[in-house]
């Protein structure tokens, strides 16, 4: 954790490395963070962000969000926009878990009503939402149906009764990226992913019951507009992605690009995980079309999990999901590349924005936001560790400096390898239960790796995010029950 000598502080929350930091950089590296978070930053983040700054067609800067940490290819929390004509698309700038994302769901329930039923609720969620390695989904699709999921995303499920029109309005891109083409997806990806719709996965994926305490409200007006409108309100948050389907698509295209890069595309990269293709090439277009298929599968996956959440709450409390006020606040993607219009140097341009472990955060008045959020800006969810809670924020106009991107989580500060040596899963469950957090884990060692000590302070990340002008804090949510994948 060495602060580079060349690092310049532009303002209290913006730190920059000029293009001379490493040979070949076309743009600066820019980190939005606090002094405290800069001091905690992995050294490799600077190197990885500098590698990204050297990619062809990058526009503005290689950006790092306040939760940035060491990844592969791009750093996690890395954002980069590319010119559509001269730029590249890179699976390593998106991640293997394409459209890994968060969904926040509000209810009318208050903590005093839920507390006596918490164990029953968490047990039922753990039983009915498949979680952990090697689990099958609960919706079986044939090839034609899965191709429809790839093309249509979450709307395909809503048409079949697995959700509401409002769920789609409150999902990024209405739950469907345009441009998906199943012909660009390998048979292997189909084989790997077809049975996994409706599964949480493992790693840092989870489903959590949380409570909005009165002291957790930062902006009461925005909180009300997001449906967070009662004291001790119970909400549900979950984090998962495109499962093996997206993993295989990324695997296929990284290998294809690595084979094609030196001879065909004529550019070099510093890290093979930055394998890429020109956006304006057949290979680039094919990957984009396949990535959209995985993004749509992921939106569908989260929609299906919400259906199960509704069923479980309905069974436990003996009322319909509608009567319990179970509604999607917002569903945001973390790992994507999207064509968006942004103003750069006074001129509007269409760019391909890679966000790897970063959240889109559109401001009030943005044409892509639904009427519900035109006045507030897009709800943003920053998931914390299972010990520390999570944040809801709102997109703001000053977020233009980051292509309207913001932090996505706490950001790891300790490797899985080290966390596993320090923490025992059984012991962590016991300690958390003492603190009022009921945990059901598919893998005890996996749980140990996700202990709070492995993460930065989510409070510090959310505060720096607001101070940097990337988004505005609305509410802090406290965990009371967690199903860990």
Alpha-carbon span 315 to 129, nearest angstrom: 14
CB of 449 to other proteins, least distance (A): 9
Nearest to 360 by CA among 403, 296, 328, 298: 403
Strand segments (E) across 241-344: 277-278, 327-333, 336-344
Q: Compare residues 15 and 96 and give the one whose CB is closer to other proteins.
A: 96
Alpha-carbon span 101 to 240, nearest angstrom: 6
Alpha-carbon span 479 to 237, nearest angstrom: 10
Concerning whether 408 is annotated as a catalytic residue, the answer is: yes
Q: Compare residues 132 and 379 and give the one whose CB is closer to other proteins.
A: 132
CB of 231 to other proteins, least distance (A): 35
Alpha-carbon span 204 to 101, nearest angstrom: 11
Phi, psi dihedrals of residue 229, rounded to the nearest 5°: -130, 15
Q: Compare residues 68 and 480 and give the one whose CB is closer to other proteins.
A: 68
The CA-based dihedral angle spanning residues 353, 358, 362, 363, taken in that order and rounded to the nearest 10 degrees? -130
CB of 238 to other proteins, least distance (A): 16
Of these residues, 170, 334, 408, 476, which one is catalytic? Answer: 408
Give the single-character DSSP code of 264: I
CB of 272 to other proteins, least distance (A): 4
Q: Give the largest CA-CA distance in the chain.
A: 65
Cβ-in-10-Å burial (0-12, 13-18, 19+) of 141 comes to middle
Alpha-carbon span 226 to 247, nearest angstrom: 32
Q: Compare residues 413 and 471 and give the one whose CB is closer to other proteins.
A: 413
Q: Compare residues 253 and 317 and give the one whose CB is closer to other proteins.
A: 253
Binding site for other proteins (CB under 8 A): 42, 44, 69-73, 76, 92, 95-97, 132-134, 188, 191-192, 201-204, 244, 247-248, 250-251, 254-255, 258-259, 271-273, 275, 412-418, 443, 445-446, 454, 485
Nearest to 51 by CA among 19, 5, 4, 83: 19
Q: Compare residues 221 and 415 and give the one whose CB is closer to other proteins.
A: 415
CB of 123 to other proteins, least distance (A): 19
118 contact partners, CB below 8 Å, separation of at least 6: 209, 438, 480, 481
Per-residue exposure over 443-461, b if at least 16 CB sit within 10 Å of its own CB, e if not? beebbbbbbbebbbbbebb
Q: How far is CA 100 from CA 126, 151, 261, 269, 355, in A?
A: 20, 18, 27, 25, 11
Q: Compare residues 29 and 329 and give the one whose CB is closer to other proteins.
A: 29
- Catalytic residue positions? 408
């Amino acid at each position: 954790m060495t602060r580079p000598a060349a690092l310049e502080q532009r303002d209290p929350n913006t730190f920059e490395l000029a293009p001379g930091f490493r040979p070949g950089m076309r743009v600066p590296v820019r980190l939005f963070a606090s002094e405290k978070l800069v001091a905690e930053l992995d050294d490799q983040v600077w190197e990885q962000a500098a590698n990204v700054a050297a990619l062809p067609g990058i526009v503005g800067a290689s950006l790092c969000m306040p939760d940035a940490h060491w990844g592969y290819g791009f750093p996690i929390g890395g954002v980069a926009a590319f010119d559509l004509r001269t730029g590249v698309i890179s699976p390593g700038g998106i991640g293997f878990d394409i459209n890994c994302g968060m969904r926040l769901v509000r209810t009318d329930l208050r903590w005093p009503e839920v507390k006596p039923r918490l164990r029953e609720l968490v047990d039922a969620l753990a039983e009915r939402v498949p979680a952990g390695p090697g689990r099958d989904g609960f919706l079986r699709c044939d090839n034609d149906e899965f191709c429809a999921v790839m093309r249509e995303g979450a709307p395909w499920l809503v048409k079949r009764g697995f959700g509401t029109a409002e769920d789609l309005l409150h999902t990024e891109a209405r739950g469907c990226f345009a441009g998906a083409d199943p012909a660009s997806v390998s048979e292997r990806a189909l084989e790997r992913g077809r049975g996994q719709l409706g599964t949480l996965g493992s790693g840092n994926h989870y489903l959590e019951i949380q409570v909005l305490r009165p002291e957790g409200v930062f902006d009461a007006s925005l909180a009300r507009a997001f449906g967070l409108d009662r004291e001790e309100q119970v909400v549900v948050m979950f984090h998962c992605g495109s499962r093996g389907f997206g993993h295989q698509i990324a695997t296929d295209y990284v290998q294809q690009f690595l084979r094609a890069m030196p001879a065909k595309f004529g550019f070099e990269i510093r890290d093979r995980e930055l394998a890429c293709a020109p956006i304006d090439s057949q290979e680039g277009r094919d990957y984009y079309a396949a990535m959209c298929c995985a993004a749509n599968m992921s939106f569908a996956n989260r929609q299906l999990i919400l259906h199960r959440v509704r069923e479980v709450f309905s069974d436990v409390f003996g009322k319909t999901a509608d009567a319990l006020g179970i509604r999607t606040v917002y569903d945001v993607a973390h790992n994507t590349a999207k064509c968006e219009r942004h103003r750069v140097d006074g001129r509007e341009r269409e760019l391909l924005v890679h966000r790897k472990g970063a959240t889109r955060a559109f401001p009030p008045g943005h044409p892509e936001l639904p009427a519900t959020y035109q006045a507030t800006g897009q709800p943003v969810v920053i998931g914390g560790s299972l010990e520390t809670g999570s944040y809801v924020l709102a997109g703001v106009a000053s977020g233009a400096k980051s292509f309207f991107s913001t932090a996505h989580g706490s950001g790891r500060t300790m490797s899985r390898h080290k966390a596993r040596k320090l923490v025992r899963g059984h012991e962590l469950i016991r300690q958390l239960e003492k603190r009022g957090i009921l945990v059901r884990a598919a893998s005890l060692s996996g749980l140990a790796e996700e202990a709070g000590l492995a993460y930065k302070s989510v409070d510090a990340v959310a505060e720096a995010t607001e101070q940097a002008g990337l988004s505005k804090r609305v509410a802090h949510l406290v965990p009371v029950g967690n199903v860990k994948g």
